[in-house]
Amino acid sequence: MDFREQQDLARRQTRILVGLYVLLLIVAAAAVGGLMWLGLTLGEQAQANQATGSATIPAEATWQAFAWAAGLTGGGILLVTLFRWFTRSDGAKVAKSLGGRELTGAGETNLSPAERQYLNVVDEMAIASSLPRPRVFVLDQESGINAFAAGTKPENAAVAVTQGALDHLSRDELAGVVAHEFGHIANSDIKLSVRVAAMVFGFTFLFFVARWWFHVGVGPGRRDARLRIAMLVGAAAIALVGLLTVFFGRILQAAVSRQREFLADASAVQFTRYPDGLKSAFEKLKGGASSRVESDAAAEMNHAFLFRAGGARLFDTHPPLEERIRRLEGQPSA
C-alpha cells in the first residue's frame, strides 16, 4: 500500500467536500434572502398601494432588501456554526460517558495480561507517531470489536478499545487498530469532525428564521390577505430550505468522515509499517464478528468509532470494509 498517496487522496477529497459545504451555505443564504426579499417587497408594495393607490418600488431598494436578507441569513448561520465550532471535546469525558475504565495513571496497577499488552501497544504507537501518550481506556461491558479516539487536540486526547477487541484481536491486529486511532489524533480528525458537525448545526438557524417569518405573517397588523398567504408560504419555503440544507449537510458530513477513515487507515500503515495487522482486523469483522457498542451514548459517537457501532445506514460515516481492505492491499478503488 502506498500510504502517502492514500493520505494525499483523502486530504484532497476532504478539501473538496468542505468546499461544497461553503457552496451550500451560499446557496442557502441566497435562497432564504430571495424569499425574504420577495415577502418584504410585496409588503412594501401593498403599503404603497394603500397609501397612494399605485406605486412602484425602486429596483435599487429591492436589491438592497435582498442583500440585507441574504447577509443576515448567512451571518446568522455562521454565528450558530461558530458557537459549535469552538466546542472543546475532552477525550477522557467522552470515554467515561461510554462506560470506559481508565488504564493510565492510577489504573495502571493490577492490569490483566491483555490490558498490559494494550498499554504497551499504545506506548509504541505514541513513539511511532511522535505524539504524547493519550489517556487509555477500555470499555469493559462491550463484547463487540471496536475502538475510538476522542479529544480535539493531542493534549486532551483519549484512546479506548472494547473488551471484545482485547479478547478477540491478536497483538498485530490490536496494533493496527490502535495505530488507526492515533492516525485520527495526528490528522486532527476529531477537531475536523466537531467543526463539520458545527457547519451542519448552523443550518438549523433557518428553522428559527422560518418560525419568525411565520409569526410576522400571522401576527397583528393591517396586512392584505394575499400578503399574509404569501408570507406563510415563504415561511414554509424557508423551512424547506433548512430541511434540505441539513439533509445534504449530513450527507456531506458522512462523506467527510469516510475520507478521514481512509486517511486514518493509511496513517496506521505509516505508524506500524505492517498493513496486514489492520487488514486482518477488518477481515474478522467482514467474517461476521460484531462491532456493535451497546452503550446508549454510542449513537451520537458512531462517527468516532473504528467500525460502525450501530444505527441507521442512511448517513453511514464508515466506508465499506471491502473498500478499506482493497486500499490496504494496494488495489485500485472500486
Q: Which residues are catalytic?
A: 181
Which SS3 state, helix, strand or coil, does residue 333 take?
A: coil
Q: What are phi and psi of 5, to 5 degrees?
A: -65, -40
Cα–Cα distance between 334 and 322 in angstroms, integer? 9
From the number of C-beta atoms within 10 Å of its C-beta (0-12, 13-18, 19+), residue 323 rates as middle
Rounded Cα–Cα distance for residues 85 and 322 (Å): 33
CA separation, residue 110 to residues 100, 103, 256 (Å): 17, 10, 40
Please answer whether residues 206 and 32 qualify as being in contact, where contact means their C-beta atoms are separated by less than 8 angstroms. yes
Exposure on the CB side of residue 74, measured as CA atoms within 13 A: 19
Number of Cβ within 10 Å of residue 275's Cβ equals 21
Cell numbers found for residue 220: 397583528
All cell numbers assigned to 294 = 451497546
**Integer Rg of the chain from CA:** 25
| Contact between 94 and 301 (Cβ < 8 Å) | yes
Q: Which three cell numbers stand for residue 67?
A: 442583500
SS3 149: strand
Phi-psi sector, 173: left (phi>0), alpha (psi -120 to 50), beta: alpha
Residue type, 219: G
Give the cell for residue 100. Answer: 470506559
- Cα(271)–Cα(313) distance, integer angstroms: 31
Taking the CA atoms of 307, 308, 314 and 317 in sequence, report the sign of the dihedral they define: negative
Give 48's DSSP letter: H
